[in-house]
Chain A
Amino acid sequence: MRPTDDTTIIQRILEGNTALYSVLIDRYKDMVFPIILRVVRNREEAEEAAQDTFLKAYHALRSFKHEARFSTWLFRIAYNTAISRARKKSVVTQALDDRMVENFSTDDIRESAGKMDEQQQIELMNAVIRTLPEDEQLMISLFYQQQQKVEEIGHIMDLSESNVKVKLHRIRKKIYAAMAARMQLQPG
């Protein structure tokens, strides 16, 4: 019978049952990929970076001390791999005017967005997320889509907990401002 928890699987891999690593890949590949894609913004490159991530994690498996969850440790490797690739090719993002961010009511934005159908909402959100810098895209994705805790995000992105909270707060404001701009709402 195959072990199910990460710790046992890792132990078995280190004892020589190396094929079990495929269980970990299957378990986390679709969580790692969106993280990388948020940063490198190119599917082919993201696939290569995902492969690099799993290879690096495998070779560093002995150094995994179980101080954090395996997923957090893996996401940190993924983030660093993606960042180093993104550095080679700088990505231009559309910066939002800071003043714009302060001028909208979230209630109005939610109400307007709520009137849209689901597909439109998703398209709007996709478009808005793409306007954020890659580190902000990643942070919001880790928090809402990968269900990572603030502490874990801090570990992955090498930031303090309070720094993550401040950034998340600011990203949310930016998202609402960008949504308002796209829905052509007037600042109140």
Chain B
Amino acid sequence: MTNDKFQETDDKFLADLMRRMPQEKLPSSFTSGVMMQLQAGAEPLADSSEYRRQMIWAYLSLLLAAGIVIFMLVAGWPFIKINIFSDTYQLRNLLSASLGILEGFNTFIQYLRESSTIIIICITIGFLLLAERLLRSRMLQNRSFTI
């Protein structure tokens, strides 16, 4: 009685027997069934360069808006206390030429701060997100599902 054959790394006898075993097959309608389901759903398309170019502005705007929100939230904290919006004396000296613009900007920021700044910025972010969604869906609609 020997088990030497069990030590083989492969087994031609089993390989041959397994290969001869009939394998279950899927019905011929399977492929069209899957494709119909796929047509009804989203497509795994890689973003085109045109789409990416358009989107980069949306994402940059989002980033800027998020930066402004964070800055405005942090600026008022006791440890940081940046009085950029209430004290524009140095800015006036540095940018005397554009004082009017700065003051206008300062007034505008002040107004926003005193009213509902964060709400407005959130609405802006929401608007940008909506614009991004609309752009994306319009671009996907333009792509066909045919060969």
Contact = CB atoms under 8 A, between A and B. Distances in A.
B6 A16 contact: no
Interface residues of A, number: 54
B35 A25 contact: yes
Given A33-B26, A34-B24, A105-B3, A145 B34 contact: no
Interface string A150-188: 000000000000000100010011011000000000011
A18 B146 CA distance: 7
Nearest to B43: A18
Given A50-B26, A55-B34, A175-B14, A18 B19 contact: no
Given A18-B145, A33-B24, A106-B3, A58 B44 contact: yes
A176 B32 CA distance: 41
A14 B13 CA distance: 43
B73 interface: no
B34 A125 contact: no
A30 B31 contact: no
B18 A141 contact: yes
Interface in B1-34: 1-3, 5-7, 9, 11, 13-15, 17-27, 30-34
A contacts with B: majority SS: helix
B51 to A, nearest CB: 11
B146 A19 contact: yes
Nearest to A15: B46
A126 B37 contact: no
Given A18-B38, A25-B34, A144-B18, A33 B25 contact: yes
Contacts of A169: 6-7, 9
B56 interface: no
A62 interface: yes
Interface in A26-69: 26, 29-30, 33-34, 37, 43, 46-47, 50-51, 54-55, 58-62
A126 B35 contact: no
B97 interface: no
Nearest to A46: B24
B6 A106 contact: yes
Contacts of B80: none
Nearest to A172: B11
B147 A20 contact: yes
A113 B16 CA distance: 12
Given A13-B44, A14-B44, A122-B17, 6 more contacts: A20-B147, A25-B35, A30-B26, A33-B24, A58-B44, A175-B14
27 contacts: A14-B46, A16-B143, A18-B43, A18-B45, A20-B147, A21-B38, A22-B32, A26-B31, A30-B23, A30-B25, A33-B26, A34-B24, A50-B26, A55-B38, A58-B44, A59-B41, A59-B42, A61-B44, A105-B3, A105-B5, A110-B13, A113-B13, A113-B17, A125-B21, A145-B19, A175-B14, A176-B6
Interface of B: 1-3, 5-7, 9, 11, 13-15, 17-27, 30-35, 37-38, 41-46, 143-147
- Please name the 6 residue pairs, one residue from A and one from B, whose CB atoms are nearest each other, closest first: A144-B18, A106-B5, A188-B1, A14-B46, A25-B31, A61-B44
